[in-house]
DNA sequence: GCGAAATATTGCGCACCACGCAAAACGTCC
DNA sequence: GGACGTTTTGCGTGGTGCGCAATATTTCGC
């Protein structure tokens, strides 16, 4: 890879990280692209060569995740059942400690309406990558078989649901068990009404 | 309902419709809020009292759908199994003729990046309403049971997948059967790899 | 009905932003 | 090392979102 492309990658990453950092520190509304560009060491005009909006830059970090999910999925043993592999790959991302960094980031992206749109777009990109991975794993093509996309969509949607629930859980709960429960229940096929608690009567 | 609120609703609807119509006719990029406000018979400044961006106004029509889905779900017989009711409610929305209006609208919202974010946000609103309907139906609370949100998310995601596939299907296919297939396969629990076509060998 | 309180609309102004264009700076390749 | 393709940058411009204060309109108690 030539110097040229490396610099482009670096500039993009620098801009994205700067945007995220400043947004986390001062709130997305109080960040000017001028600052972002300055912190990334490029001209303000250059910023818009990489991102078409401040919000896009802030949420672009989330696109890293999609590569990690793809890699994780590819590394699962081939004989493992599909759902097991998918669940393991996703859970891997949320393993380890709660990662306070990521918590605050996702919270910010889901709370500020201006960021939510870009956040969801990033989620869709992840969904696409996941679908491709699934397709490859079961020997299908995205274009002729909806199944991979359906699974990917359901999984992505479930992670969003879990995230949303977990972000404003009071009292706080563990993320990993929640995510595991959701994905397992998904893999089990979301069977009819599973348990109907009657809260009021 | 007082005159005041009726006028607000009317103004909002007028703005939203005007925004949509102009965007469909000239493309979203070539629409000024000034035009939208003019067509809705309101001052440009007032536009931003209702919508915080042109894109939001264009996609706001999609929020009607959520009410229709809620109504449809509530009207299903109570003894019908959950998945049957949900599928029927969703399919109802896409029944009848292909609705060339809606086709072009969704295509536009999914093609233009500026609109995609708002489109997804609207989808999320629908997802929430659907989850509430499901919860009410099975006697649960969204806050303590993830199940309704998971189902709603999977369904919403499936409709998006189907839409995306159908919009650039070449040759074109029927929407209703595609949607039906996706939802049924979802209701069946997305069982393991269902059929593995090997496209190349 | 009517006047006052509550609420919505509007005009104005301002900071900001996305982007087209052309010149300059920078890699690349022979 | 020099010509060529690509990226960065400065500048200008049309457009936007929103705060603020004045104005119009609805509501409500009497």
Per-residue pLDDT tens digits of chain B, which is 201 residues long: 888 999 999 999 999 999 999 999 999 999 999 999 999 999 999 999 999 999 999 999 989 888 899 999 999 999 999 999 999 999 998 876 767 788 899 999 999 999 999 999 999 999 999 999 999 999 999 998 999 999 999 999 999 999 999 988 889 888 899 999 999 999 999 887 655 554 444
B61, B105 contact by CB (below 8 A): yes
Give the pLDDT score at B195.
53
Token output for A23: 């947004």
Of residues B111, B113, B12, the one with CA closest to residue B61? B12
Strand D nucleotides within a 7 Å radius of protein CB atoms: 6-12, 15-20, 26-28
DSSP string, chain B: --HHHHHHHHHHHHHHHHHHHHHHHH-GGG--HHHHHHHHTS-HHHHHHH-SSHHHHHHTTHHHHHHHHHHHHHHS-TTS-HHHHHHHHHHHHT-SS--HHHHHHHHHHHHSHHHHHHHHHHHHHHHHHHHHHHHHHHT--TTT-SHHHHHHHHHHHHHHHHHHHHHT-SS---HHHHHHHHHHHHHTT--SS-----S--
Closest Cβ opposite residue B190 in set A127, A151, A181:
A151
- Distance of A12 CA from C28 C1′ (whole Å): 21
Instruction: Look at B138 and A196 and tell me if their CB atoms are within 8 Å.
Output: yes
pLDDT of residue A170: 85
Residues from chain A that touch B62, judged by Cβ atoms under 8 A, are none
Reference A61, options A117, A102, A113; nearest CA is A102
Residue of B150, B160, B191 lying closest to A186 (CB–CB): B150
Is strand D less than 7 A from the beta carbon of B29? no
Considering all nucleic acid strands, name the nucleotide whose C1' atom is nearest to the C-alpha of residue A44: D9
Which residues of chain B neighbour A116 with C-beta distances below 8 Å?
Answer: 117, 121, 124
pTM of the model: 0.92
Q: State which residue of chain B sits closest to A84, comparing Cα positions.
A: B192
Which of A85, A125, A136, A154 to probe by mutation at the B interface, max B CB count within 10 Å?
A154
Each of the 201 residues of chain A gets a pLDDT tens digit; together they read: 888 999 999 999 999 999 999 999 999 999 999 999 999 999 999 999 999 999 999 999 989 888 899 999 999 999 999 999 999 999 998 876 767 788 899 999 999 999 999 999 999 999 999 999 999 999 999 998 999 999 999 999 999 999 999 988 889 888 899 999 999 999 999 887 655 544 444
Q: Are B135 and B142 in contact (CB under 8 A)?
A: yes
Q: Is the peptide bond before B169 cis (omega within 30 degrees of 0)?
A: no
Query: Considering Cα of B194, then B195, then B199, then B201, what sign does the dihedral take?
Result: positive
Compute the distance between CA of residue A164 and CA of residue A167 in angstroms, rounded to an integer. Answer: 5
CA of A26, C1' of C24: distance in angstroms: 35
Q: How far is A2 from chain B (nearest CA, A)?
A: 30
Backbone dihedral angles phi then psi of residue A90, each to the nearest 5 degrees = -70, -45
Tokens of B51: 């919508």
- Give the model's pLDDT for residue B201: 45
Q: To probe the interface with A, which of B154, B164, B180 has the most A CB atoms within 10 Å?
A: B154
Chain A residues within 8 A of B120 when measuring between CB atoms: 117, 120-121, 124
List of chain B residues whose C-beta atoms are within 8 Å of the C-beta of residue A83 = 192
């Amino acid at each position: 890879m030539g110097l040229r492309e490396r610099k482009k990658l670096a500039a993009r990453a620098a801009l994205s990280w700067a945007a995220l950092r400043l947004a986390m520190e001062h709130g997305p509304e109080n960040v000017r692209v001028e600052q972002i560009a300055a912190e990334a060491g490029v001209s303000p005009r250059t910023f818009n060569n990489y991102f078409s909006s401040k919000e896009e830059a802030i949420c672009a970090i989330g696109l890293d995740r999609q590569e990690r999910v793809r890699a994780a999925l590819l590394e699962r043993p081939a004989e493992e059942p599909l759902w097991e592999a998918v669940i393991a790959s996703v859970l891997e991302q949320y393993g380890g400690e709660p990662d306070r960094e990521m918590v605050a980031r996702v919270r910010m992206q889901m709370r500020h309406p201006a960021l939510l749109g870009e956040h969801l777009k990033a989620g869709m990109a992840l969904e696409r990558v996941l679908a491709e991975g699934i397709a490859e794993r079961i020997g299908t093509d995205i274009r002729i078989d909806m199944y991979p996309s359906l699974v990917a969509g359901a999984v992505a949607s479930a992670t969003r649901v879990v995230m949303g629930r977990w972000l404003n859980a009071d009292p706080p709960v563990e993320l990993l068990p929640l995510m595991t429960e959701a994905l397992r229940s998904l893999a089990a096929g979301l069977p009819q009404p599973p348990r109907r608690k009657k809260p009021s009567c």
